[in-house]
Structure 1
């Protein structure tokens, strides 16, 4: 169980790091956009300013596409890690469930055999347990 907790914590830290990196990238991109807008506003006084504005708009669109691609790739990477961890945990759970089922079958067989060998004792124990459960439930 500790291994799965460690893996989950590692995935959580990785996701937080990716989110922080994306936040920093967006902050940096926003700063560039602000700088470009200020430059463009200064340049609008001349005719070349319109051409520069178009160029900057194309640059900004390309930067936006790059950020979107980075985010998509990071999302795909973390989704794949999550799928792999989920599969590993599922397989571990299946193994443990099979072990518990086998253990329960063995204990059931032992109890059944004991009841067959000592039916009066088993009946007395069952009556005693029933009486105790009745007392507990009656007090509620």
Structure 2
């Protein structure tokens, strides 16, 4: 059970990290566009075309915002997909572990003497290995 929780939490952390990184990239890109636009407008403010350039800059800014929203939505949906896939894989692993545990329990119930002998042998070997250190 702990492995499934750890795996799901790991996927969740990865998804959050991917979304956070995408958000930071978008902020940085928007900041650079804003600075570039501001510098360009300052250089051309004396020009008669400054009004048209401001309009064009506003259009570019809106386009950048829309692209940012789209990119953020794609990142969010990919993070959700990764989270769901991780959750599904963790459930599969838990079911597999339960099946193997049930098989082993049944084997021990059917052959208790053999199981005890195997456990004693393994314990003896582990004891030998640890005593040599």
- Residue 76 of structure 1 aligns with which residue? 77
Q: CA deviation at 1:7?
A: 4.1
- Residue 58 of structure 1 aligns with which residue? 59
Is 1:28 equivalent to 2:29 in the alignment? Answer: yes
Q: How many residues align?
A: 110
Change (3 A) 1:57 1:38: same
Whose Rg is larger?
1
**Partner Cα separation in structure 2 for residue 19 and residue 8 of structure 1:** 16
Helix, strand or coil at the partner of 1:64: helix
The normalised TM-score by structure 2 is 0.58
Change (3 A) 1:17 1:80: closer
Q: Could you tell me which runs of 5 or more consecutive residues in structure 2 were left unpaired when the two chains were aligned.
A: 99-133
Q: CA deviation at 1:39?
A: 1.8
Show structure 1 runs of 4+ deviating over 4 A. Answer: 87-97
**Partner Cα separation in structure 2 for residue 22 and residue 88 of structure 1:** 28
1:97-140, CA deviations, whole angstroms, 9 ceiling, x for partnerless residues? 9xxxxxxxxxxxxxxxxxxxxxxxxxxxxxxxxxxxxxxxxxxx
Work out whether residues 8 and 90 of structure 2, in 8 Å CA contact, stay in contact via their aligned partners in 1. no
Q: CA deviation at 1:49?
A: 1.0
Is 1:6 equivalent to 2:7 in the alignment? Answer: yes
Please tell me the root mean square deviation across aligned C-alpha atoms, in Å. 3.9
Q: Could you tell me which runs of 5 or more consecutive residues in structure 1 were left unpaired when the two chains were aligned.
A: 98-140
Is 1:41 equivalent to 2:42 in the alignment? Answer: yes
